[in-house]
């Protein structure tokens, strides 16, 4: 709904700019409208400024500046999952002063006299974003969709009523200590490192004609932002995701007794049929969906330097070394996994994660299977 309203506003502003251009040309070419030349110039300048603000601050410009591949988008989400949150309080104190101008009129102006900032201290934090799955359904259902417009937001929550009470007391103390004038404005800022509010993720190898930052700037400067943005919408699918953090002043949110409480909300990344679960201060665990219903294969591997997101072609699990063990058996493997890159995705086709050891294939052992009650694949 928000995107539709924004696109409607973009078209209205674009049409008003074209109307101002037509009015400006008519005022200079017609003797009857000669008296309106100055008015047409003012209107043209005003709407041109508004048009450029909307084009380069509220349109596709920020997405093109954050163009990313699927692998990079997962890496950036991974960084946000691991980033610690901060809550900063700000206060500005001021009063109003009235003075007289040379022409005898009076003016009332604001005078800032004091500014202060303080960061809220907490004892522990935990990411509770849950499952992130890049929505590529648009690319599989419509061959024209090649990009995902990923909109991100940040939400920092108090883990308990006690933490909220501690924050209220700290806030009241901060305001009382820094309220040094007649009026004051209080605000707070929530932030994490590496946070970006949007990405333009390329999910296929197909690049549409006249698609890119250079074309966007060209059409924007020529006054065709709304038509070009409508054209871009045809190749993009929008997705929204919220990075959530919980903070506490009275509990250790990463203690073992809190594991069951937050297991359902722990951050995880799903890549096709892979689920990567990020546990606080521990290497990620990768779970590969098997063909057997309600079962997941646990793949043990050392912590990767970068996040592996490439998936090989679909392979039957019967091709795994040793086949699929019965549900009541358990095997372990410590062999690192190597995944093929540049996967090909086709409509209605799934892929499987196949372990492969390039140096000692004969020593490879089948992975273990755990029941669905031990793993929460989706949030």
| Phi, psi values for residue 103, rounded to 5° | -85, 5
Least-confidence region, from 141-145, 147-151, 202-206, 363-367? 363-367
Name the token pair of 166.
């501690």
**Given this model, what pLDDT does residue 51 score?**
92
Q: What is the mean pLDDT of residues 198-216?
A: 90
**Given this model, what pLDDT does residue 303 score?**
42
**Given this model, what pLDDT does residue 120 score?**
95
Residue 332: strand, helix, or coil:
coil
Which has more pLDDT, 318 or 30? 30
pTM of the model: 0.66
Predicted confidence (pLDDT) at residue 323 exceeds the cutoff of 70: no
Nearest to 122, CA basis, from 163, 81, 88 = 163
**Given this model, what pLDDT does residue 239 score?**
92
What is the distance between the alpha carbons of residues 257 and 193, in angstroms, rounded to a whole number?
28
Specify whether the CB–CB gap between 314 and 350 falls below 8 A.
Answer: yes
Least-confidence region, from 25-39, 58-72, 307-321? 307-321
pLDDT category at 65 given cuts 50, 70, 90 is: very high
DSSP 143-209: TT--EEEEEEEEEEEESSHHHHHHHHHHHHHHHHHH--SSEEEEEEEEEETT--SEEEEE-SS---T
**Given this model, what pLDDT does residue 276 score?**
53
Name the token pair of 1.
């709904």
**Given this model, what pLDDT does residue 143 score?**
72
Q: Across the strands, what pairs with 191?
A: 86
**Given this model, what pLDDT does residue 219 score?**
93
Which has more pLDDT, 111 or 35? 111
Long-range contacts of 5-9 (CB under 8 A, 24+ apart): 6/58, 7/226, 7/229, 7/230, 7/233, 9/54
Predicted confidence (pLDDT) at residue 351 exceeds the cutoff of 50: no
**Given this model, what pLDDT does residue 310 score?**
39
Predicted confidence (pLDDT) at residue 336 exceeds the cutoff of 70: no
Tell me the per-residue pLDDT of 246-292, one tens digit each, with 9 for 90 and over.
999 999 999 988 988 898 899 988 875 445 555 455 555 544 443 33
Report angle CA 377, 154, 175 to the nearest 5 degrees. 140
Indicate the domain borders of the chain: 2-58, 68-260, 267-379
Which has more pLDDT, 33 or 159? 159
Nearest to 78, CA basis, from 299, 306, 273 = 306
**Given this model, what pLDDT does residue 269 score?**
86
Q: What is the mean pLDDT of the chain?
A: 76
Q: Where are the alpha helices (DSSP H) in 183-277?
A: 213-221, 225-233, 259-262
Nearest to 126, CA basis, from 81, 188, 161, 193 = 81
Least-confidence region, from 33-37, 261-265, 300-304? 300-304
Which has more pLDDT, 102 or 197? 197
Tell me the per-residue pLDDT of 170-203, one tens digit each, with 9 for 90 and over.
999 999 999 999 999 999 999 999 999 999 999 8
**Given this model, what pLDDT does residue 300 score?**
38
**Given this model, what pLDDT does residue 136 score?**
80
């Amino acid at each position: 709904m928000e995107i539709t309203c924004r696109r409607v506003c973009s078209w209205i502003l674009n049409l008003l700019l074209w109307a101002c251009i037509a009015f400006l040309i008519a005022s200079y070419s017609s003797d009857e409208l000669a008296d309106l030349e100055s008015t047409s110039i003012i209107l043209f300048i005003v709407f041109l400024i508004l048009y450029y603000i909307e084009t380069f601050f509220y349109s596709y410009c920020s997405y093109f500046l954050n163009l990313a591949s699927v692998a990079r988008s997962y890496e950036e989400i991974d960084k946000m999952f691991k980033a610690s949150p901060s809550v900063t309080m700000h206060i500005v104190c001021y009063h109003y002063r009235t003075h007289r101008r040379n022409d005898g009129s009076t003016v009332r102006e604001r005078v800032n006299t004091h500014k202060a900032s303080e960061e809220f201290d907490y004892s522990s934090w935990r990411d509770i974003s849950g499952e992130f799955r890049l929505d590529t359904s648009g690319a599989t259902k419509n061959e024209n969709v090649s990009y995902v417009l990923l909109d991100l937001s940040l939400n920092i929550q108090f883990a308990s009523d006690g933490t909220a009470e501690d924050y209220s007391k700290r806030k009241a103390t901060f305001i009382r200590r820094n309220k040094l004038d007649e009026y004051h404005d209080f605000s707070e800022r929530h932030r994490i490192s590496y946070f970006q509010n949007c990405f333009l993720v390329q999910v296929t190898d197909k690049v549409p004609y006249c698609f890119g930052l250079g074309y966007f700037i060209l059409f924007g400067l020529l006054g065709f932002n709304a038509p070009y943005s409508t054209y871009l919408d045809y190749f993009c699918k929008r997705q929204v995701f919220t990075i959530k953090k919980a903070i506490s002043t009275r509990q250790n949110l990463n203690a073992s007794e809190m594991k069951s409480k937050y297991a359902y909300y722990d951050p995880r990344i799903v890549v096709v049929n892979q689920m990567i679960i990020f546990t606080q201060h521990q290497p990620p665990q990768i779970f590969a969906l098997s063909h057997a219903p309600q079962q997941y294969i646990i793949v043990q591997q050392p912590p990767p330097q970068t996040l592996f997101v490439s998936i090989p072609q679909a392979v039957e699990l019967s091709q795994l070394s040793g086949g699929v063990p019965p549900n009541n058996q358990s095997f372990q493997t410590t062999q690192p996994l190597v995944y093929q890159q540049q996967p090909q995705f086709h409509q209605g086709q799934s892929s499987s994660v196949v372990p492969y050891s390039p140096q000692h294939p004969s020593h490879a052992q089948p992975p273990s299977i755990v029941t669905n009650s031990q793993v929460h694949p989706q949030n």
